[in-house]
Amino acid sequence: MPEGGGTAQRAASIAPGPTPPYPHRPVPAPGGGENSYPVNRSMVGSRQDGGSSPAGTGPAVLAGFLFALAAGTLWGTTGPLSTALYAEGTHLTDVGFWRLLVAVIGFLVYGLARPSLFRVDRRGLLLVLGLGGLLVAVFEVAFQYALAGVGVASAVALLYTAPVIVAVLARFLLREALTPARLAMAIIVMAGVGLTVHGAVVDDTVQVAAGGRGQLVGIIGGLLAALSYAGTTILARSAVPRYGAVRFLFLELVGGTIILAAFLPATGHVPQAPPSFAGWVYIMALGAGAVLAANFCFFAAVRRIDAAPTAIAASIEPVVGTLLALALFDQRLTGTGWLGLLMVVAGVAGGYLIESVAQRLPGRAGSRRATTS
């Protein structure tokens, strides 16, 4: 994902703009739009109306779309790389731990040039490193079980229910309106997820990695991953404006690593190093590529283009993951499965586009906030 996180309120002064939730692709409130991502104003240009929007035209816009496509492509490698690690004999829980640790080490190196990355107050330790880290840890374990149980395409489709969960949570926690566009997106996405899972054909040897319980474990893992991912997104609404997107990402990665390092041995799953050189290559690609490089590509994109087109371009992720799984492993989709996957992508990307347009219309500035009766 996934940055996100939870508060009961969202201050009206929060600067609009994108923030990528670790560990996968960014999941703002459904419908997207630039106001769905609170972000440090230093990352974006300023508009005369007091909002924030990336500045740039021509080559800068093209570069923004290319960075967004690169982010989505890198996020899309998570499933295939994890599946390759299962084949190398790496346990599911080990995959999540090692990829977090590699990403944290990368951030520590990055912090040598940006010492401000390590500055955090007590609230940040509790909220982001503590709660955010817990959400990341849950995501890492749950998503690996989803990948092993139902395959790459279905796992990512299940993950894409996170915007639906965010829409519901935002209605009650942040008092944001549950608009017709968000309801339509929810229906399309949920129907698409059902078709994708129903139309997935996964080799039985892959499901063995999920503990022999196959599809049920995978579905539960996928939904739990989506729930934790949605929680991270809600959390970012309050934390990112205070700490910035990069520091938020770093802190929740550190928290997730610490929690897994303590929790896994306590449950009899002491993290084991990958058993082969190829395993280490896959781990490095997951940590350095699908986490660090993907998020920094996303950061680069939102400096050049708005959040909605960035999110739409990054929606290439499930397509990339599915095609790689088809080419490299015995995982494929029937016609029904492909239809479902396209519905998921169209529902999320279309929701971003529709609400982005709606928010630019006169008189819509406050429409996101639900009215009280």
Q: Which amino acid is at 255?
A: G
What does the H/E/C string look like for 209-239?
A: HHCCCHHHHHHHHHHHHHHHHHHHHHHHHHH
pLDDT recorded at residue 204: 54
pLDDT recorded at residue 157: 87
Looking at the DSSP assignment, which residues form a beta bridge with residue 236?
none
Question: Residue range 110-132: average pLDDT?
Answer: 93
Residue 93 has phi, psi (to 5 degrees) of: -70, -25
Question: Residue range 69-98: average pLDDT?
Answer: 93
Interatomic CA distance for residues 171 and 60, integer angstroms: 35
pLDDT recorded at residue 293: 94
The two three-digit tokens of residue 142, written as one number: 């749950």
CA 126 to chain CA mean position, Å: 21
Is the pLDDT higher at 373 or at 58? 58
Residue 13 near residue 237, CB atoms below 8 Å: no
Tell me the torsion sign for CA atoms 335, 338, 344, 350: negative
Interatomic CA distance for residues 295 and 353, integer angstroms: 21
Q: How many CA atoms lie within 13 A of 24 on its CB side?
A: 32
User: What is the Cα Rg of the chain in Å?
Assistant: 19
Q: Is 267 helix (H, G, I), strand (E, B) or coil?
A: coil
pLDDT tens-digit readout, 283-333? 999 999 999 999 999 888 888 887 767 777 787 888 888 889 888 887 888
Looking at the DSSP assignment, which residues form a beta bridge with residue 369?
176
Residue 8 near residue 238, CB atoms below 8 Å: no
Q: What are the start-end ranges of the E strands in the chain?
A: 45-46, 52-53, 200-202, 331-333
Is 73's pLDDT higher than 90?
A: yes
pLDDT tens-digit readout, 186-236? 788 888 888 888 887 766 545 545 444 678 889 999 999 999 999 998 898
The two three-digit tokens of residue 78, written as one number: 């998570």
pLDDT recorded at residue 33: 36
pLDDT tens-digit readout, 172-189? 887 777 777 777 887 888
Mean pLDDT, rounded, of the chain: 78
Looking at the DSSP assignment, which residues form a beta bridge with residue 45?
53
Phi-psi region of 345 (alpha: psi -120 to 50; beta: other; left: phi over 0): alpha
pLDDT recorded at residue 132: 95
| C-alpha to C-alpha distances, 132 to 13, 92, 187, 254, 372, nearest whole angstrom | 23, 21, 28, 10, 30
pLDDT tens-digit readout, 103-119? 999 999 999 999 999 99
pLDDT tens-digit readout, 42-67? 233 333 333 444 555 678 888 888 99
pLDDT tens-digit readout, 337-364? 899 888 888 887 887 777 667 666 665 5
CA 174 to chain CA mean position, Å: 20
